[in-house]
Amino acid sequence: MKRGRIPFLLTFLALPLVIFTTFVLSPFVQAFDLSTTDWSGLSPTFNRVGFQNYADILGLDGTPDQHFWHGLMNNAILLVTVPLLTIAIALFFATMLNLAGTRSGQIRGVWGAPFYRFLFFVPQVISVAALGILFGQVFQPRGLLNALLGLVGIEGRSWLADERTALICVIAVMVWMHVGFYMVYFSAAMASIPRELLEAASIDRASKLQTFFRVTLPLLWPAVQTALIYLAIFCLDGLAIIQVMTIGPGGPNGATEVMALSVYRSFKEEAWVGYASAQAVLVFILTSVLLALAMRITRREQVQL
């Protein structure tokens, strides 16, 4: 039986492995190969330069690539702030919609919870380009935000043109984009939590905060870990919303620069395909390492019901 099992499994895995190798692994290998050249993407010929592109990016032979390193710093800020804010707000709303109300002495969600889930999920059906244009207008000097601030006597500013506030605006939009989706995601996970556990905690006179951190959150931890991973991947990219929404894009003075934008600029605008490939390889390595660390740090024993 075991002898026939391996050929049987290989028969079904052969085609998926071929497709995965052709369309996933092969482009990675080709990108690394291009990163060792000076190809411009326009000429049929190129020269092998070894690891010179990597040396130029890291500054081993002189000054490092300021755009790339500035983008790395901004990506690090996004990586710390966006997942934490998004998950915290999404968990708060999911808890309010699913566990804040009582009916007939049992813990239930608040009245109208399905409507609120739909309302919060609306941003997910709007394209990133449309969101970027929308919030680009909201943060304009004559935009909606300054108009609302003017009603309470606060003087507005050019939010996206100010180095001190441009990245904050991007963070706010990124959080707004994802809160609805993860609120619905956590709501679905909360639906599997036995209400008897929550009611037992209430009978033991545990506060709402104690119930959340000692009962609800441990049972939701696999969902929270998944959310952290996907939000981290998004924060290490962030190209689309920044390219549409910010000045430059990436401005002012690199205040909203990210690594993906540096790769795009080298590839599309400056026609340094070899150099852009080296940047992309470094982004891939950095992303893989950070995700492996995140999965290691956030790993816990799953609570079995």
Per-residue model confidence as pLDDT tens digits over 247-297: 888 888 889 999 999 999 988 888 888 999 999 999 999 988 988 888 787
Q: pLDDT at position 303, please? A: 52
Question: Would 249 be classed as within a structural domain?
Answer: yes
Question: Would 2 be classed as within a structural domain?
Answer: no
Q: What does the CA dihedral 80, 83, 84, 85 come to, rounded to 10 degrees?
A: 110
Question: Would 1 be classed as within a structural domain?
Answer: no
Question: Would 130 be classed as within a structural domain?
Answer: yes
Q: pLDDT at position 301, please? A: 53
Q: pTM value? A: 0.86
Residue with tokens 């969600």: 109
CA distance 96 to 128: 28
Residue 244, domain extent: 68-296
> Which of the two residues, 296 and 69, has the higher pLDDT score?
69
Tell me whether strands 101-103 and 106-108 are parallel, antiparallel or unpaired.
Answer: antiparallel
Q: How confident is residue 212, by pLDDT bands cut at 50, 70 and 90?
A: confident
Contact between residue 46 and residue 39 where contact means Cβ atoms under 8 Å apart: yes
Average pLDDT over residues 35-52: 86
228-133-126 Cα angle (round to 5): 55
- The contacts of residue 174 (CB under 8 Å, 6+ apart) are 78, 82, 86, 234, 235, 238, 241
> Which of the two residues, 100 and 288, has the higher pLDDT score?
288
Question: Would 268 be classed as within a structural domain?
Answer: yes
> Burial, 103: exposed, middle or buried (Cβ in 10 Å; 0-12, 13-18, 19+)?
exposed
Q: How many domains does the chain have?
A: 1
Q: What is the full DSSP assignment across 152-174?
A: TT-----GGG-TTTHHHHHHHHH
226-251 confidence digits (pLDDT tens): 999 999 999 988 888 999 999 888 88
Indicate whether 83 pLDDT > 90: yes
What are the CA-CA distances from residue 15 to residues 9, 19, 20, 21, 25 (Å)? 11, 6, 9, 10, 14
Question: Would 62 be classed as within a structural domain?
Answer: no
Q: pLDDT at position 46, please? A: 84
CATH code where residue 160 lies: 1.10.3720.10
What are the CA-CA distances from residue 153 to residues 16, 99, 150, 165 (Å)? 62, 38, 5, 20
Q: pLDDT at position 24, please? A: 84
3-state helix, strand, coil in the chain (%, to 5): 70, 5, 25
Question: Would 33 be classed as within a structural domain?
Answer: no
128-167 confidence digits (pLDDT tens): 889 999 999 999 988 899 999 999 988 888 899 999 999 9
Indicate whether 4 pLDDT > 70: no
Instruction: State the average pLDDT for the chain.
Output: 85
**Residue 15: half-sphere exposure toward Cβ, Cα within 13 Å:** 3
| H helix and E strand count, the chain | 14, 2
Q: pLDDT at position 304, please? A: 54
Question: Would 12 be classed as within a structural domain?
Answer: no
Q: How confident is residue 1, by pLDDT bands cut at 50, 70 and 90?
A: very low
